[in-house]
């Protein structure tokens, strides 16, 4: 496999070009490239570069979403082949996401989910208006590493505290970490309700999840 | 001539309205309240799977019954805020959990005393025509968060009120409090003192409570204010024009539900639109494009001849600094030039997450300047300058002329001690000046002319509902006669 093929994979992610990302993945399989090699030497490096460019204010959220979509398109081709070979991309971790009870805003949480998926995490999105008990039940079922709770309203952010309490009560912590986010949410609030972490935007949520799982 | 900001060409305005009609006729809007759906279905809207599609003729019928203007009244029953035409008023922003502490200038959770201080300062500032239920008080249970804010305003203010409920149950309590304040349900309907914000979720989603709210407020005859919040690029089209189409469609669909529930009930074409920041995912309220969305949306509302509302005079920064001044003053001026009837947002920082009483008094100066601007340049003398030159020639002694003395008060706005014009060489910095002004206003605060009977009945309603959420003793700001100076 010529190294410029891997470079093209990387570039397809940076460009947010889902069609070429998928086409390159097909081509790689036809040429007998191991799916994991394509992922690690090509696509993942693209995602890393996207993160770097975002940090340097050269890429913005719509660019990053397009990159995540391109990643998804490539993985849709590569993952069945991986499975067929009896392997799987080792998941970086499992994350359960949702917006608190009474809150129907999903944009921030969905963004976090998309970026985590692109970075190799298994994400289960519970959606919006999620009762605290449901976060706990799903975390138990999946053996999740992290539960992410979003709230946009000052009136519904109290629901984040309730999720912390339910996970405590069900003795899922400290194995399961709880992270919180949303427009009115602050680090101070996260500390006050004894959450394990807070991120002020979607990309730093990825870094936060990485650091919590490694810890 | 009244200076005016026109931000949409006639052609663009027409296209926005056409697309908005088509949007709610074809894509439709989610309407969650079963009652609202039923009202729509029995009036020729197509309702299926929770989505209502609004035929243009139905919307136009609603536009025929909706009032073109209405008044809000103060406690004395005087009509003081005119929602309609090009009249412009300002009120503080709402509704956050935090306040920037006066001493430390650090954000902390707000409590009853903070809201009372803010109400008193707002009461004393003529720049604010209305009070706003500005903060949630964290020293009382969350379930009473919305009606408790209203209670404090009713106890400490005579001004009209911009407010909103958080749930169906508490909306009823708020209407009960207002009726007690006005002297009955009919008196409240005849001379409403408050307007209630009703917020559709973008895009085009009337949640269970929002759609219930429209119907209930319509029936109660208490003015409703649609707060449409397209976030350009995230929950609405990225273009400003596209987002204004969505704003228009949300307002038209809301007005239709509201007018079907009660034809002729007052409602405001309002909103808190914003762009979506493509780096942070935040919704900057101080961005110039956000102000452009407010101005454009109001222009559409005015085309329909309706009362308008917008959300400006807030900053995205977290401190009282140059950014706060820049964003708040610039957007106050845009809103005033756009002729928006009620402009909410003053006092707020940190993308509406935090309030500051010091910022509120600073913003009052921006508001006063904006009001001066729209008063315009007038010919106050028969001859503009020649007759004054005839008196003083080239000596330039205009200070002595009788015209000067007769007219300078009309021509110039006199800023408060907030604005440093070099009079006092040792004037302290803006934050110190703001703190001093807040203290002055608090010291001179005049409590409202409220009868002991009204206070008693407000307290009784409050005590009953507080008890039902586990609060046996209301905070002293409610119960102490000394604080209220009752009678």
- Sign of the torsion angle spanned by Cα atoms B21, B26, B32, B33: positive
Give the distance from residue A148's alpha carbon to the nearest chain B alpha carbon, in angstroms. Answer: 17
| Assigned domain for B391 exists | no
| Assigned domain for B243 exists | yes
Indicate yes or no: pTM above 0.95. Answer: no
| Assigned domain for B21 exists | no
Domain count, chain B: 1
Tens digit of pLDDT at every position of chain A (215 positions): 567 899 999 999 999 999 999 999 999 999 999 999 999 999 999 998 998 898 888 999 899 889 999 999 999 999 999 888 887 777 889 999 999 998 878 888 988 998 898 888 999 999 999 999 999 999 999 999 999 999 988 778 889 999 999 999 999 998 999 999 988 888 989 999 999 999 988 888 999 999 999 76
Rounded distance between C-alpha atoms, residue B38 and residue B40, angstroms: 5
Q: Which of A84, A114, A138 is at the close of a domain?
A: A84
Q: What's the CATH code of the domain at B154?
A: 3.20.20.480
| Assigned domain for A43 exists | yes
Among the partner-chain residues B205, B278, B353, the one whose CB lies closest to the CB of A183 is B353
Q: Is A72 exposed, middle or buried (0-12, 13-18, 19+ CB in 10 A)?
A: middle
Q: Which of A75-89, B366-380, B424-438 has the lowest mean pLDDT?
A: A75-89
Q: What's the CATH code of the domain at A37?
A: 1.10.1240.10
On whether both A10 and A59 belong to a single domain, the answer is yes
Rounded distance between C-alpha atoms, residue A180 and residue A188, angstroms: 11
| Assigned domain for B23 exists | no
On whether both A99 and A195 belong to a single domain, the answer is yes
Q: How many CB pairs under 8 A join A and B?
A: 44
Q: Do B281 and A60 touch (CB under 8 A)?
A: no
Numbered residues of chain B with Cβ closer than 8 Å to any chain A Cβ = 95-97, 107, 136, 142, 145, 166, 201, 205, 207, 231, 233-235, 278-283, 351, 353
On whether both A73 and A159 belong to a single domain, the answer is no
Rounded distance between C-alpha atoms, residue B392 and residue B160, angstroms: 48
| Assigned domain for B292 exists | yes
Numbered residues of chain A with Cβ closer than 8 Å to any chain B Cβ = 54, 57, 60-62, 104-105, 107-108, 111, 154-155, 157-158, 183-184, 186, 200-202
Instruction: Give the pLDDT confidence of A150-186 residue by residue, as tens digits.
Output: 998 877 888 999 999 999 999 999 899 999 998 888 8
Q: Which of A40, A65, A84 is at the close of a domain?
A: A84
Instruction: Give the pLDDT confidence of B249-284 residue by residue, as tens digits.
Output: 999 999 999 999 999 999 999 999 999 999 888 899
Residue B95: the pLDDT is 87
Give how far Cα B131 sits from Cα of B210, B346, B354, Å.
22, 11, 17
On whether both A57 and A135 belong to a single domain, the answer is no
Residue B224: the pLDDT is 98
On whether both A172 and A190 belong to a single domain, the answer is yes
| Assigned domain for A89 exists | no
Q: Provide the residue range defining the domain that includes A184.
A: 94-214
| Assigned domain for A40 exists | yes
Rounded distance between C-alpha atoms, residue B117 and residue B435, angstroms: 12
On whether both A108 and A72 belong to a single domain, the answer is no
Rounded distance between C-alpha atoms, residue A59 and residue A48, angstroms: 12
| Assigned domain for B163 exists | yes
Give the distance from residue A151's alpha carbon to the nearest chain B alpha carbon, in angstroms. Answer: 13
Q: Provide the residue range defining the domain that includes B106.
A: 64-375
Task: Determine the residue of chain A that is closest to B279 in CA distance.
Answer: A60
- Cβ atoms of A24 and A37 within 8 Å: the answer is no
Q: Do A61 and B278 touch (CB under 8 A)?
A: yes
Among the partner-chain residues B136, B205, B280, the one whose CB lies closest to the CB of A201 is B280
On whether both A125 and A190 belong to a single domain, the answer is yes
**Going along chain A, which residue ranges are E strands?**
94-99, 122-125, 146-150, 177-181, 197-198
- Sign of the torsion angle spanned by Cα atoms B285, B286, B287, B293: positive
Instruction: Give the pLDDT confidence of B304-337 residue by residue, as tens digits.
Output: 999 999 999 999 999 999 999 999 999 999 999 9
| Location of structure tokens 């998926």 | A117
On whether both A103 and A72 belong to a single domain, the answer is no
On whether both A76 and A164 belong to a single domain, the answer is no
| Assigned domain for A198 exists | yes
| Assigned domain for B7 exists | no
On whether both A77 and A174 belong to a single domain, the answer is no
Domain count, chain A: 2
Length of chain B measured in residues: 487
Q: What's the CATH code of the domain at A208?
A: 3.40.50.280
| Assigned domain for A68 exists | yes
On whether both A76 and A132 belong to a single domain, the answer is no
| Assigned domain for A100 exists | yes
Give how far Cα B9 sits from Cα of B15, B85, B112, B301, Å.
10, 20, 47, 15
Instruction: Give the pLDDT confidence of B447-481 residue by residue, as tens digits.
Output: 998 999 999 999 999 999 999 999 999 999 999 87
Rounded distance between C-alpha atoms, residue B253 and residue B17, angstroms: 13
Judging contacts by C-beta atoms under 8 Å, the chain B residues touching residue A111 are: 281
Q: Which of A14, A49, A84 is at the close of a domain?
A: A84
């Amino acid at each position: 496999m010529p190294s410029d093929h891997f470079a093209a994979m990387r570039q397809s992610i940076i460009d947010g070009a889902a069609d070429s990302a998928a086409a390159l993945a097909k081509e790689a399989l036809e040429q007998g490239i191991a799916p994991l090699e394509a992922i690690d030497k090509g696509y993942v490096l693209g995602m890393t570069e996207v993160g770097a460019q975002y940090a340097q204010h050269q890429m913005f959220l719509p660019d990053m979403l397009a990159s995540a979509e391109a990643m998804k398109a490539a993985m849709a081709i590569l993952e069945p082949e991986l499975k067929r070979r009896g392997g799987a991309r080792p998941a970086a971790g499992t994350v359960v996401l949702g917006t608190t009870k009474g809150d129907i805003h999903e944009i921030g949480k969905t963004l976090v989910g998309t970026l985590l998926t692109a970075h190799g995490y298994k994400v289960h999105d519970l959606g919006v208006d999620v009762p605290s008990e449901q976060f706990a039940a799903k975390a138990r079922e999946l053996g999740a590493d992290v539960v992410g709770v979003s709230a946009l309203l000052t009136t519904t952010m109290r629901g984040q505290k309730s999720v912390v309490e339910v996970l405590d009560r069900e003795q899922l912590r400290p194995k399961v970490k709880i992270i919180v986010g949303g427009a009115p949410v602050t680090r101070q609030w996260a500390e006050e309700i004894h959450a394990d972490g807070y991120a002020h935007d979607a990309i730093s949520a990825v870094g936060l999840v990485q650091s919590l799982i490694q810890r | 001539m009244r200076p005016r900001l026109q931000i949409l060409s006639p052609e663009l305005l027409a296209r926005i309205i056409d697309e908005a009609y088509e949007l709610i006729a074809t894509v439709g809007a989610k309407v969650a309240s079963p009652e609202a759906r039923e009202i729509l279905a029995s009036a020729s809207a197509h309702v299926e799977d929770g989505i209502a599609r609004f035929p243009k003729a139905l919307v136009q019928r609603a536009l025929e019954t909706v009032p073109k203007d209405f008044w809000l009244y103060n406690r004395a029953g005087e009509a003081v805020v005119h929602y309609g035409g090009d009249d412009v008023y300002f009120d503080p922003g709402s509704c956050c959990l935090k306040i920037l502490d006066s001493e430390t200038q650090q954000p902390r959770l707000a409590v009853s005393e903070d809201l009372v201080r803010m109400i008193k300062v707002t009461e004393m500032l003529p720049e604010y025509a209305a009070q706003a239920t500005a903060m949630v008080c964290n020293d009382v249970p969350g379930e009473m968060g919305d009606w408790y804010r209203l209670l404090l305003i009713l106890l400490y203010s005579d001004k009209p009120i911009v407010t909103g409920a958080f749930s169906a149950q508490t909306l009823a309590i708020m209407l009960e409090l207002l009726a007690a304040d006005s002297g009955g349900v009919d008196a409240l309907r005849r001379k409403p003192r408050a307007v209630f914000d009703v917020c559709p979720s973008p895009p085009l989603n009337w949640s269970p409570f929002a759609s219930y709210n429209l119907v209930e407020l319509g029936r109660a005859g208490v003015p409703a204010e649609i707060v449409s919040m397209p976030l350009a690029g995230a929950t609405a089209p990225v273009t400003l024009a596209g987002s204004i189409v969505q704003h228009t469609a949300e307002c038209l669909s809301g007005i239709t539900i509201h007018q079907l529930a009660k034809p002729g009930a007052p409602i405001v074409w309002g909103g808190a639109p914003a762009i979506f920041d493509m780096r942070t995912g935040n919704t900057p309220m101080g961005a110039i494009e956000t102000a452009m969305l407010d101005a454009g949306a109001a222009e559409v509302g005015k085309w329909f001849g309706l009362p308008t509302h917008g959300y400006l005079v807030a900053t995205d920064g977290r401190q009282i600094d140059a950014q706060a001044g820049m964003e708040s003053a610039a957007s106050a001026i845009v809103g005033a030039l756009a002729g928006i009837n009620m402009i909410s947002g003053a006092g707020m920082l940190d993308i509406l997450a935090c309030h500051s009483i010091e910022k509120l008094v600073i913003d009052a100066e921006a508001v006063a300047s904006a009001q001066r601007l729209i008063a315009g340049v007038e010919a106050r003398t028969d001859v503009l300058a020649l007759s004054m030159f005839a008196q003083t020639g080239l000596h330039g002694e205009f200070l002595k002329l009788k015209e000067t003395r007769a007219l300078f008060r009309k021509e110039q706005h006199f800023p408060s001690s907030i604005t440093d014009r070099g009079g006092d060489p040792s004037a302290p910095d803006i934050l110190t000046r703001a703190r001093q002004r807040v203290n002055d206003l608090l010291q001179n605060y005049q409590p409202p002319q409220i009868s002991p009977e009204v206070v008693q009945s407000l307290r009784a309603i409050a005590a009953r509902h507080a008890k039902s959420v586990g609060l046996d003793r209301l905070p002293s700001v409610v119960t102490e006669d000394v604080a209220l100076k009752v009678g």
